[in-house]
Every structure is written in C-alpha cells, then in structure tokens.
Amino acid sequence: MANQYNSDVLIIGAGAAGLSLALQLAPIAKISLVAKDALTEGSSLYAQGGIAAVLNDDQDSFESHIDDTLNAGAGLCRRETVAFVIKHAPEAIRWLVDQGVSFSCELESGGSPSYHLTQEGGHSHRRVIHAADATGRAIEQTLETQVKRHKNIHIFEDHIAVDLITRSGSDSDNETRCFGAYILDKRSGHVNLFQARFVILATGGASKVYLYTSNPDTSTGDGIAMAWRAGCRVANMEFVQFHPTCLYHPKAKSFLISEAVRGEGGKLSLPSGVPFMQKHDNRVELAPRDIVARAIDYEMKKHGLDHVNLDISHKSSEFITSHFPTIYRRCLELGYDMTRGPIPVVPAAHYTCGGIVTSLQARTDIQGLYAVGECAFTGLHGANRLASNSLLECIVFAHAAAKDISEKLNEKVVPVPPLPLWDESRVTDPDEQVVVSHNWDELRRFMWDYVGIVRTTKRLMRARHRIELLKDEIREYYSNFKITNDLVELRNLVLVAELIIRSALSRKESRGLHYTRDYPNLDTQHPPIDTILAPGDLTENATPRVITG
Ligand code: FAD
Ligand code: SIN
C-alpha cells in the first residue's frame, strides 16, 4: 500500500551535502531525509585526501586558492562562485569542527598542536585539511550521529527517488514549481509520495556511467536525470574527471589511492621502474589531475600496459602508516606492502564536474527545487576540478541553500494542487532481469571505450548511436514493468550518458578534462563557453544548444 509523507523540506541524498543541509535546517523545519542505500553510503564516505581551505594566513591566501582553482578550471570557472566558495571555506571548516569532526593535527616547532595541511596536485600551497586518509568517513560518521539525534529529521534509508513532482502555472508568477517526489521504498516495493515545500537534490555524481570508477554504486546521476526530466538545464557534462590513481587489482573494486600520496612524495613509473611524468609536465606528479591521468593513459596505451606503478616506499614506514592508514591496510590485504615497494595503479572515472545549473543560493530553474553537492553545476570547477574543492563546495552550498530556504519558510505557503499517488495499475512484475543487467554492462563498457579520457568524434558518434538503441529498450521496459532500484538507476544512467556524449560532441576544442584528437587544441578564437543544455534541446537529431554561461 503506497503512503504519503508531508514535510517542510525533502532532502534527497545524505552525503556531505545532504547531511549538512539537514542539520542546518533542522532547528526550524520538519525534514524528510532520504538515501537510496544505508544512510552514509555514497562518495562522501570514501573521500580520502581532505578539504581545501586557506587556514594558514601567513603562508597562504584566498587569492592563491582562487588562482589555483581558476588555473585548474582552464578558463571556464565562474569567478564569482570561486571567490564565494573559497572565502567561505574557513567558516565551513569551523562548522565541521563544531559538529565534532576531528581533523589530523601536528605539533608545531613551539610544541603547540595545529591542523596538519597536506598537498595535492594543482595547489600551490599545503592547504588540504584532512582526517588521516579517511576524511569523508570522519565527516559522515560525525554528521550521521548529529542527524540521528534530531527529532525534526525523519530518516528514510533504502528509499530511491524515482521522479520529481512539478506543476506549472500554480504560482502567481506562473513558473514551474516542485511539490515533492515519488520515492520507491526498496524494502516494501511501494512507490510513496513525498510532498514538501522545498525539495533538495543532493544525490552526488554520475561516475558509475563508466566501467571503471573510484565511486561507490550510488553514483548513478539520479538527481541530474530527475532534474532534467523535470525541466532544469544542465551544464558542462563533458567534463568528467578521471582520477589518475585507483588501485589495480581484480578484487579492489573502486579503491582510490589518494592524490595526497603523490602530494607527500609518491612517484609514478612504468612497471620497469622508468619514471615518465617529467616527459608530460614540469610539475611532474603534482600536475593537475587531467594531465596526470592523460599521461598515464598515454603510457599505458604506448607500452601496452594494464597499469603503472606508484611508489612512496622511500618514506619511512612510520610516516606512511600514520598518514595513509586506510590505504596501507587495504593494499596489504591485497598483497601490496606500500612501505616496501610500488603499488599498481590505473585511472578511473572519479568526479562529475557538470550538473544541474544552480545559482549562488543553490536554486535550480524550478521554484522550490534546489541542488547541492556533486549533482549541481555551480561554476566552481570549470573544465577541471581542483583536488579537494568538492567537499568544500558541498558544505558551502549546503549553508547557502539553508540560508535561502530559511528566509523563504516564513513566506506565504503556495497552495498544493492535487497530487496523484503512483499508478501501477498498468504494469506487471518484470518477466526477466537480463535486459537490465545486460544494458547496464553494455552502457558502462562503451562509455569507457568511446567516451573516456581521450575522445574522437567518430567514437562519440558510435556511442550516441548505441544510446539511441538502449533508450528505446529501456523506455519500453520502464513502461511495461514495475520499477526496481536497478531499473531506476539504468534509466538515469542512460540519460546522463546521453548528456555527456551530446555535450562532448558539441565542444569543438580540447579543454581541461575534455580531450579530443579531432580538436586537440584550445579554441583561442572565441571566448570560453559553458555547454548548457536545456530539455527541449534533445529532440531526435537535434544538436545541443550551446550558450555562454
Ligand atoms: P554523495 O556523497 O555521493 O551522496 C549522495 C547521496 O545521494 C547518497 O546518500 C545516496 O544514497 C543518495 N542518492 C543518490 N541517488 C538517490 C536517489 N535516486 N534517491 C535517494 N537517494 C539518492 N572530494 C574532496 O573534496 N576531497 C577528497 O578527499 C575526495 N576524495 C574522494 C575519494 C573518493 C573515493 C571519491 C569517490 C570521491 C572523492 N571526492 C573528494 C569527491 C567527493 O567525495 C564527492 O564529490 C562528494 O562527497 C559528493 O558529495 P554529495 O553529498 O554531493 O554526494
Ligand atoms: C584524493 O584523495 O585523491 C581525492 C581528492 C579529491 O577527489 O578531491
């Protein structure tokens, strides 16, 4: 039997973005907090390196962090957003500390403790605050404890949002407004109606669209797909960040080797021991990620390798095990002692720089609908995200959204139109699951092969053709059978894949994370532009509309 739940605020996602927002609003609003798996399962939980913030004014400055972010973003960052996020970073860290997050400290020469700041690629200073190599776990566990204490936060685990509920013309300004979402309770199999005055998408990224990824299974782009279907614009989906170093081992599904390992002196080499980064960039191992990932991809293809090596064993065992306890333990379980020798690594899809177009208040194109965290496009990352700027973006924009919503909570309530319950009268139980599992595998493989680190127009066209076939099959399956978690995710993955491919095809240059052999250089003839797609653009055979961001 389907249920209806009403609250002031519906937050879909419980990563760093969703949990922070829930805690900010809980004193003044009744909240439904929904996660499609266990509450804290998501990319935030696995974040290793840390959070970038200027905390040491003597040696570092906001201007320097801003410059590093703009440089990594290769001409596409929105300066206003960059300054907004970076200037709010110290306050975001203070908020996390007040919640109880315990960051790693070191003893200064005078004997007083201060936060240890690590180094990552593209940063010109040590400015990444962290909790050893498990920063995300420290954040998620602390915030989870806090949200579970709050009587205003009603938690729904194992609930996957299927679609947003919007209506046009119900407002005085005649705009489309969001009134809630249909959400599948994975345990009962019922699709319930969640009605709320404010709905926030905090659903994370879409890296599961690729065969090899550092991300957990939750990163299927659901929020981006739901927002798109509801009528929101999305931007810059071609900029998929590949992390240079994931552990290469058949049993090591999605295990990241933090960039901080290179930041603290780790060196890359071919399996023969020959170093190669000096051939690709004079910043060697600390060049921005796109450059390091492309260099590894190039060397692997050139030498027919299935991995390269990363070695930090020249540092003391004590240093390695205290800075990287999680990575050390996991590698040891799989037979690699990083205190004694190199570990095998490969690049993998890591971060979705594009997403739902949002304002500095985290508002989307739809009234009452917000997007925060990796699913949002704020303009912070441009064509390539600077390491450890993502958790920061989650916290800063969660605060910005909370501020905006708290101001609107006192405004006159918009009357809620009749919202129908989910209708399953015309669908039956799926006859066979193989359609879903086959298409899931096929999609992720061709995205890896055709829309990966190095692209060509021909490969992108091939991928687009395959997407059309998959879309038809999935559309038919979706209209005939009861939905399951896997079907909801596959439907979203195919749509997000299409957005990535169309965006990539429309960019006739190589910039940041988007590298195509057909246009290997920056377009210096025109000012840099964002790729902004609006739902009406993806009619059959239409080419995406590209407008200045
Ligand atoms: P997530 O943390 O991914 O959370 C998404 C939430 O949405 C989950 O609760 C999920 O269940 C829920 N959800 C998704 N779809 C639905 C749906 N349909 N219905 C209901 N719920 C749904 N960034 C840094 O800044 N520093 C780092 O050191 C760092 N290290 C990283 C290491 C790894 C291994 C990975 C994968 C990423 C790392 N990143 C790092 C990136 C960063 O962790 C993520 O960008 C960030 O955590 C995203 O947070 P989020 O809250 O937006 O989403
Ligand atoms: C890492 O620790 O290498 C991940 C940092 C990030 O993705 O920002």
Report DSSP letters for 520-537, one per residue: -S---SS-----EE-GGG
pLDDT at residue 151 above 90?
A: yes
* Cβ atoms of 376 and 362 closer than 8 Å: yes
- By the 10 Å C-beta count (0-12 exposed, 13-18 middle, 19+ buried), 155 is classed as middle
- The region that residue 379 occupies, defined by phi over 0 for left and psi between -120 and 50 for alpha, beta otherwise, is left
The pick from 65, 224, 391 for probing ligand 1's pocket by mutation, whose C-beta has the most ligand atoms within 8 angstroms, reads 391
Strand, helix or coil at 8? strand
Q: Six-digit token pair at 28?
A: 């003044």
Which domains does the chain possess? 4-238+353-408 (3.50.50.60), 244-349 (3.90.700.10), 434-520 (1.20.58.100)
The pick from 85, 388, 392 for probing ligand 2's pocket by mutation, whose C-beta has the most ligand atoms within 8 angstroms, reads 388
Task: Give the list of residues 6+ apart from residue 455 with CB closer than 8 angstroms, or none.
Answer: 504, 514, 515, 516, 517
From the CB of 42, is ligand 2 less than 6 Å away? Answer: no
Q: Which of 197, 289, 294, 502 is catalytic?
A: 289
pLDDT in tens, 187-233: 999 999 999 999 999 999 999 999 999 999 999 999 999 999 999 99
Q: Is the dihedral of CA 22, 23, 28, 31 positive or negative?
A: positive
| Percent with pLDDT over 70 in the chain | 97
Residue 288: predicted pLDDT: 84
Is residue 289 part of the annotated active site? The answer reads yes
Residue 255 CA, closest ligand 1 atom number = 34
In single-letter form, the type of residue at position 444 comes to R
Query: In the 8-state DSSP scheme, what is residue 39?
Result: T
End-to-end CA distance of the chain: 45
Of the CA atoms within 13 Å of residue 447, those in its CB half-sphere come to 31
Strands 191-201 and 343-352: unpaired
Task: Give the list of residues 6+ apart from residue 83 with CB closer than 8 angstroms, or none.
Answer: 62, 66
From the CB of 439, is ligand 1 less than 6 Å away? Answer: no
CA of 259 relative to ligand 2 center, distance in Å: 6
CA of 514 relative to ligand 1 center, distance in Å: 22
**Could you give the CA distance from residue 531 to residue 6 in angstroms, rounded to a whole number?**
37
Q: Tabulate helix, strand, coil % of the chain (nearest 5).
A: 35, 20, 45
The string of DSSP codes covering 119-155 is: --TT-SS--EE-STT-HHHHHHHHHHHHHHH-TTEEE
Strand, helix or coil at 264? coil
pLDDT at residue 247 above 50?
A: yes
Q: Which of 1, 31, 26 is nearest to 13 (CA)?
A: 31
Q: Six-digit token pair at 217?
A: 């299974």
Adjacency order of strands within the sheet including 308-311: 240-247, 343-352, 308-311, 267-269
- The region that residue 80 occupies, defined by phi over 0 for left and psi between -120 and 50 for alpha, beta otherwise, is alpha
What radius of gyration do the chain's Cα atoms show? Answer: 23
pLDDT grade for 538, boundaries at 50, 70 and 90: low
pLDDT in tens, 294-337: 999 999 989 999 999 999 999 999 999 999 999 999 999 999 99
pLDDT in tens, 486-496: 999 999 999 99
Largest CA distance in the chain: 73
CA of 315 relative to ligand 1 center, distance in Å: 31
| Percent with pLDDT over 90 in the chain | 86
Beta strand segments in 270-362, E: 308-311, 343-352, 355-357
Question: With a threshold of 0.75, does the pTM exceed it?
Answer: yes
Output phi, psi for 26, to 5 deg.
Answer: -55, -35
Residue 390 CA, closest ligand 2 atom number = 8
CA of 312 relative to ligand 1 center, distance in Å: 28
CA of 270 relative to ligand 2 center, distance in Å: 22
Residue 1: predicted pLDDT: 77
From the CB of 258, is ligand 2 less than 6 Å away? Answer: yes
Strands 105-107 and 113-115: antiparallel
Provide the β-strand partners of residue 510.
Answer: none
Count of CB atoms within 10 A of residue 473's CB? 15
pLDDT in tens, 72-113: 999 999 999 999 999 999 999 999 999 999 999 987 777 777
Where does 420-484 have alpha helices with state H?
A: 434-450, 457-480
Q: Six-digit token pair at 414?
A: 């918009």
Averaged pLDDT of the chain: 94
Query: In the 8-state DSSP scheme, what is residue 339?
Result: T
Provide the β-strand partners of residue 159.
Answer: 185
Residue 431: predicted pLDDT: 77
Residue 108: predicted pLDDT: 75
